[in-house]
Structure 1
Amino acid sequence: MHITSISGSPSERSRSAWLTQLAVTRLEALATRNAHIAVRDLPAAALINADAQHPAIAEAVRAVATARLVIVGTPIYKAAYSGLLKLFLDLLPPDALRDKAVLPLATGGSPAHLLALDYALKPVLSALGARHVLDAVFATDAQMQRHEAGGFVPEPELLARLDRALAPLTPQRLGESALSCRP
């Protein structure tokens, strides 16, 4: 399975980027190819000017187009996904997520931001054609403590929720799902 992950965090040491990478890591056995898009590393002028022809932007859009699973990770700011992620999503074609599984992931300071997944991120994913959206996973900062060696230490309950969201992608379940219909 070709997996493309998109990190919409502007921060270098980001909980949402780390959670996105954790999801990819948990699917390593299923992945035939991985692509990671750190939107913060894309050319700012091309993003702001919506220059879909810029080589780096075009390559990122191709990575989404060829994926079977797209993992979208974002911090929640002001009850919405990041503006950086919005800049990239606006460059995707209208049906960019059709026939793909999509896993929305988000992090925020408190559980008060949880509904931003349902009321902000999922509607834009749907507008991009996503019809097979896996259970979203939201993590608070307290559920992912910084580790002294770098990275974060997730609480067991967060890992359990992530694994439940990924369960439809297990080899046993893939045979039952619509994902198995796609070459």
Structure 2
Amino acid sequence: MPTILSISGSPSPTSRTARLLRSLDSRLTAQGHQVIPLDVRTLPAEALLHADFGHPEIVRATELVTRADGVVIGTPVYKAAYSGLLKSLLDLLPQFALEGKTVLPLATGGSTAHVLAIDYGLRPVLASMGPAHITPGWFVLDKHIEVGKDGGVVVDPTTREALERLVDQFSAALSGPYSAGVVAA
């Protein structure tokens, strides 16, 4: 089965975005995929901010992207755009780091005013990196993600159903016509 890299671009250690991603990772794992989580906030800030391409942790993150068949990218939305932390990682990756890959973009935020951040902010950057396919993304309102006392995530039922459909479409795309890096006309 394909290997999936699940990237959280949230700077917060108590991030709803990261917790939502880990919840979706479980669904992908149950479908037989190998899922590798990557929280960008755990990478050295100095290496990210100073564009230290040779830093061992940046090299490792780049290798994880290169080896993955699919990439799930989640980000909180700040000021109508994806996080600067995620941008700092994307800037350090090779120009065509997503070549031949299937990508699922996800975003979280406090207001529906940010719902287009995926399509007008994140998707163009991801497309410039050469993926074979970017599946439909999804914006999740923060109020639709509850974190329990045990750290578990409870997602609003309607949102959960939509996310499960998207994850299933992403999973199918990994073994479909885009899996070999062939782009349909």
Q: How far has the Cα of 1:174 moved from its partner? A: 5.5
State the Cα deviation string for residues 110-149 of structure 1 (Å, max 9, x = none).
1111100111000110111124111101110111123122
Share of identical aligned residues, percent? 46
Which residue is 2:45 aligned to? 44
Q: 1:46·1:52 contact (CA, 8 Å) conserved in 2?
A: yes
* Distance change >3 Å, CA 69–CA 174, structure 1 → 2: closer
How large is the Cα RMSD of the aligned pairs?
1.7
* Distance change >3 Å, CA 156–CA 61, structure 1 → 2: same
* Distance change >3 Å, CA 29–CA 118, structure 1 → 2: same
* Distance change >3 Å, CA 154–CA 104, structure 1 → 2: same
Q: 2:75·2:108 contact (CA, 8 Å) conserved in 1?
A: yes
Q: 1:2·1:31 contact (CA, 8 Å) conserved in 2?
A: no
Amino acid at match of 1:4: L
Which residue is 2:177 aligned to? 177
CA distance in 1 between counterparts of 2:34 and 2:62 reads 16
TM-score when normalising by structure 2: 0.90
Q: 1:134·1:166 contact (CA, 8 Å) conserved in 2?
A: no
Which residue is 2:22 aligned to? 21
Amino acid at match of 1:57: I
Of the structure 1 ranges 93-102 and 30-39, higher mean CA displacement relative to structure 2 is found in 30-39
Is there any run of 5+ residues in structure 2 with no aligned partner, and where? none
TM-score when normalising by structure 1: 0.91
CA distance in 2 between counterparts of 1:88 and 1:170 reads 24
Q: 2:111·2:141 contact (CA, 8 Å) conserved in 1?
A: yes
CA distance in 2 between counterparts of 1:138 and 1:103 reads 12
Alignment pair present for 1:146 and 2:147: yes
Of the structure 1 ranges 155-164 and 23-32, higher mean CA displacement relative to structure 2 is found in 23-32
Is there any run of 5+ residues in structure 1 with no aligned partner, and where? none
